[in-house]
Amino acid sequence: MSEKLTMGAVAYASKVVTIWEGFKGYFAANGLDFDYVLYSNYERQVEAQFAGEVQLAWNSPLAWLRAERMAAARGVSDQVKAIAMRDADQDLTSVILVRADSGIRSVADLAGKRIGVGAIDSPQATLIPLQWLREQGVDTASLQIVRNEVLAGKHGDHIGGERDAARALAAGEVDAACIIDGNHLLFTKEGTLPPGRVEVLARTAPYDHCNFTTSPGAPAALIDRFVTLLLGMSYDDPQVRPLLDLEGLRAWRPGRVSGYPLLDRAVTASGFYDAAGAVKADGYRY
Amino acid sequence: MAIATETLDLGDLGFDRGAHLLIRRALARLAPGQRLRVHGSHRELALHLAGWCRGRGVALEEAEGALLLGPCAALARTEQSGTPARPAESAPATWGMAARGADVELGAPAYHFPLATKAEVWAEEAGRLYAQAVAGQWDPDSAIDWNAPFELPDEVEDAVVQVMTYLVENENAALLVPARFLGQLHPHFREVMQCLAITVADEARHVEVFSRRIALRGRKPGLSSVGGQASLKTLFDTADFSVSSLLLAVLGEGSFVNLLNFLNLYAPDPVTRQICRLAARDEARHVAFGMSHLAWHMAEDPSLRHRLETAVEARYDALADTDGLNEEVFDALILLAAGAFDPAAIATGYQRVQDLVREMSDGRRARLMKLGFSLPEAQAMAERHTRNFM
């Protein structure tokens, strides 16, 4: 049996190669024979986990939920685990923005309005905010959903869809827009959101983002070693720091699944995946 | 036990108008284990604080309307890049562009600066010479009276133009040689970098004024000879900073100070005389920098002395089959020093150029002896300098 640990990652941007080459070098220097395989989309990556191509994957929250559903359907839930995540993956929120002069004062006022969201598969800019609105009593069927399809299959890892939604809001093309919390300040600073003209109508409950997900049958000893090395990475280590900066974190945390129920309900309500993890979303091309 | 907290009241200040500055300041002042309670009335304060904290590894707790920050993740480690007053013996590649004495974060990218040790680049006089150069900058438009009246016979104007043509090509080399080393020098050695930079600026000005003098009476430049260019190419191709300092500054520009003084004395028109007087002053500083650098480096590395001797010998051999100074320039100098075309005046002019050549050689020998070469060594090196002067 091979002693190499092979991980899947999605190539959502060119920096992904730099990141995982860096991690490969870090793991090699610490005695872990590690390699990675890049996929063009998360659906193919999760399927590869169950086809035995990779023993581990760096998954979006939506990819995690699909893996979890596929594992349950195959009776291998005990083997498919979220083993680690970034500090920056925990307790995110999304916001729903409206123009200050729109007259929209509560989520109930959104009924019948045009709402700009991200790509069809974006947890933070589409699935979670729409689910949160459902849970606030908004009939989402009454909304005119305007999707900003940027890099479908990459589960919203691209900021472009959210920026397009914010631009459309500022331009009056939609009545509301959904983005992740951290992008609000970014879009304000860069001028995409004109100061004083756009307001935060609502903020969702907190949720978690990416995690490392083990594949069925992943070798326990190698996975343990992987997690130990990962959690041992320190931001004040000059060799490690550029990798953490590229991946956007200060520290790795042990994985937790307590931050995914809101997205899980969104997946069910929208019919994105079925209970066994099959892709059912209408019009989803990747 | 309750965790000790400090309180920061932001009023209506938000992250869209600089709230991060006060928060960062307050976090830096926390005692270990303390947390920061932030109050503020900006509508988006909690939203923006969440993103800001997440990106910096600062824990944030929102509880009962209060925003509690801390503890903070580890910060990047730093090291001090020498002291502001004195450079380090060696400047690591990762200090890069940092100001000398700055706290440089570890893990910075490595720059490729081939000249990165004090021994091979330093000059004790660099700081003083740079200050002197800054104070001595002059504006060609106002420092030179371009409209000063003069009339020259065509042949004399031609001679001036030929000498100016020669000066431009030599100053092109004197600009580009330090410019190339400037790009190789670690900026940690700030005073040396500044000296090289202002030398480049000086030479740019010289190229300008010599070119303007060529065009002053509507002429185009004269002859550029193979021998002159061959001599300059050996300078341009010199890869060693100290060897270049010897060949260009101590021997070449030192000789040019004599030449420019000669022209200040014998040039037939006031514009040329002004130009040469001002340029000679700049060149004298370049010589002083070369002398100061070589005195330092030779003291640090006794083997340099032999390398310098060898370099002079090698350049002499390389140029053995070339003409050296082109005949047109040599004859132009004689004519300028003669002031007229009668035989007695030409004889005087010829003698004055011979005196100049001897003066140049004496000057080179004296500077070499000042650097510690013996009389016979200095004599041999001074005589083997290029006949092109630079």
Instruction: Report pLDDT digits (tens) over A185-202.
Output: 999 989 999 888 999 999
Put simply, the answer to whether B47 touches A95 (Cβ < 8 Å) is yes
- Average the pLDDT over A168-174 and give the result: 96
Q: Looking at residue B31, what is its pLDDT? A: 85
User: Above 60 in pLDDT, residue A163?
Assistant: yes
> Is the alpha carbon torsion for A93, A94, A100, A101 positive or negative?
negative
At the second CATH level, the architecture of A5-89+208-270 is: 3-Layer(aba) Sandwich (3.40)
Nearest residue to A31 (alpha-carbon basis) of A54, A56, A5: A5
Query: Do the interacting molecules here have an ipTM over 0.90?
Result: no
Q: Looking at residue A1, what is its pLDDT? A: 44
Note whether B50 contacts A: Cβ–Cβ < 8 A: yes
Q: How far is CA A106 from CA A111, A114, A181, A193, B62, in A?
A: 10, 15, 18, 20, 22
Q: How far is CA B271 from CA A41, A161, B202, B278, B280, in A?
A: 74, 67, 18, 11, 14
Asked if residues A227 and A64 have their Cβ atoms less than 8 Å apart, the reply is no
Size (chain A), residues:
286
How far off is chain B from A178, nearest CA to CA, in Å? 14
Q: How confident is the model at residue B1 (pLDDT cuts 50, 70, 90)?
A: very low
Domain ranges across chain A: 5-89+208-270, 94-203
Question: Which residues of chain B have a CB within 8 Å of the CB of A95?
Answer: 47
Compare all CA atoms of chain B with the CA of A189 and give the residue at the minimum distance.
B16
- B230 burial (CB, 10 Å; 0-12 / 13-18 / 19+) is middle
- Average the pLDDT over B291-298 and give the result: 98
Question: Which residues of chain A have a CB within 8 Å of the CB of B15?
Answer: 185
Q: Looking at residue B2, what is its pLDDT? A: 58
Put simply, the answer to whether A248 touches B55 (Cβ < 8 Å) is yes
Q: Where are the alpha helices (DSSP H) in chain B?
A: 19-28, 45-56, 118-121, 126-135, 140-143, 154-182, 190-215, 226-236, 241-244, 254-266, 270-300, 304-318, 327-338, 343-370, 375-383
Count CB-CB contacts under 10 A for residue B157: 18
- Average the pLDDT over A84-95 and give the result: 96
Compare all CA atoms of chain A with the CA of B14 and give the residue at the minimum distance.
A185
Q: Looking at residue A3, what is its pLDDT? A: 87
User: Above 60 in pLDDT, residue A2?
Assistant: no
Question: Which residues of chain A have a CB within 8 Å of the CB of B50?
Answer: 91, 93, 181-182
Q: How confident is the model at residue B76 (pLDDT cuts 50, 70, 90)?
A: confident
| pLDDT single digits (tens) A10-26 | 999 999 999 999 999 99
- Between B178-192, B260-274, B372-386, the lowest mean confidence (pLDDT) is in B372-386
| pLDDT single digits (tens) A91-148 | 999 999 999 999 999 999 999 999 999 999 999 999 999 999 999 999 999 999 999 9
Count CB-CB contacts under 10 A for residue B187: 18
pTM across the whole model: 0.72
DSSP B208: H
User: Above 70 in pLDDT, residue B3?
Assistant: no
Chain A to chain B, count of Cβ pairs less than 8 Å apart?
69
Q: How confident is the model at residue B64 (pLDDT cuts 50, 70, 90)?
A: confident
Higher pLDDT, A236 or B316: B316
The identity of residue B4, as a single letter, is A
The identity of residue A121, as a single letter, is D
Asked if residues B62 and B78 have their Cβ atoms less than 8 Å apart, the reply is no
Compare all CA atoms of chain B with the CA of A195 and give the residue at the minimum distance.
B16
Same fold, A5-89+208-270 and A94-203: yes
Q: Which residues contact A196 (CB under 8 A, 6 or more apart)?
A: A100
Q: Where are the alpha helices (DSSP H) in B216-342?
A: 226-236, 241-244, 254-266, 270-300, 304-318, 327-338
Percent of chain B with pLDDT over 70: 98
- Average the pLDDT over A197-217 and give the result: 96
Q: Which of residues 358-377 of B touch A (CB under 8 A)?
A: none
Asked if residues B104 and B238 have their Cβ atoms less than 8 Å apart, the reply is no
**What are the structure tokens assigned to A188, written together?**
């304000």
| pLDDT single digits (tens) B163-212 | 999 999 999 999 999 999 999 999 999 999 999 999 999 999 999 999 99
CB half-sphere exposure, B19, CA atoms < 13 A: 25
Q: How far is CA B54 from CA A87, A93, A151, A253, B153, in A?
A: 7, 12, 25, 13, 80
Note whether B107 contacts A: Cβ–Cβ < 8 A: yes
User: Above 90 in pLDDT, residue B338?
Assistant: yes
Q: Which of residues 148-177 of B touch A (CB under 8 A)?
A: none
User: Above 80 in pLDDT, residue A225?
Assistant: yes
What kind of fold does domain A94-203 have according to CATH? Answer: D-Maltodextrin-Binding Protein; domain 2 (3.40.190)
| pLDDT single digits (tens) B20-58 | 999 999 998 888 888 999 999 999 999 999 999 998 889
Instruction: Tell which of B15, B27, B44 to mutate to test the A interface (max A CBs under 10 Å).
Output: B44
Q: How far is CA B386 from CA B53, B81, B166, in A?
A: 67, 42, 15
Put simply, the answer to whether A239 touches B107 (Cβ < 8 Å) is yes
Put simply, the answer to whether A250 touches B74 (Cβ < 8 Å) is yes
Question: Which residues of chain A have a CB within 8 Å of the CB of B52?
Answer: 185
How far off is chain B from A145, nearest CA to CA, in Å? 24
How far off is chain A from B64, nearest CA to CA, in Å? 15
Structural domains of chain B sorted by starting position, each given as residue range(s) with its CATH number in brackets: 5-72 (3.30.110.40), 76-112 (no CATH), 118-383 (1.10.620.20)
Put simply, the answer to whether B73 touches A95 (Cβ < 8 Å) is no
- Average the pLDDT over B309-334 and give the result: 87
d(C-alpha B1, C-alpha B11), whole Å: 30
Q: Looking at residue B199, what is its pLDDT? A: 98
User: Above 80 in pLDDT, residue B281?
Assistant: yes
Residue B98's SS3 state is coil
Q: Which residues contact B42 (CB under 8 A, 6 or more apart)?
A: B10, B12, B13, B14, B15, B19
Nearest neighbour of A250 by CB, restricted to B15, B50, B73:
B73
d(C-alpha B235, C-alpha B243), whole Å: 9
Nearest neighbour of B55 by CB, restricted to A88, A239, A242:
A88
- Between A109-118, B3-12, B194-203, B270-279, the lowest mean confidence (pLDDT) is in B3-12
Note whether B31 contacts A: Cβ–Cβ < 8 A: no
Q: Looking at residue B378, what is its pLDDT? A: 96
Q: How confident is the model at residue B62 (pLDDT cuts 50, 70, 90)?
A: confident
- Average the pLDDT over B333-354 and give the result: 95
Q: Which of residues 245-304 of B touch A (CB under 8 A)?
A: none
Question: Could you check whether the bond before residue B71 is cis, i.e. omega within 30 degrees of 0?
Answer: yes
Interface residues of A toward B, Cβ cutoff 8 Å, are 87-88, 91-93, 95, 181-186, 188-189, 195, 199-200, 203, 234-239, 241-242, 248-251
Percent of chain A with pLDDT over 70: 99
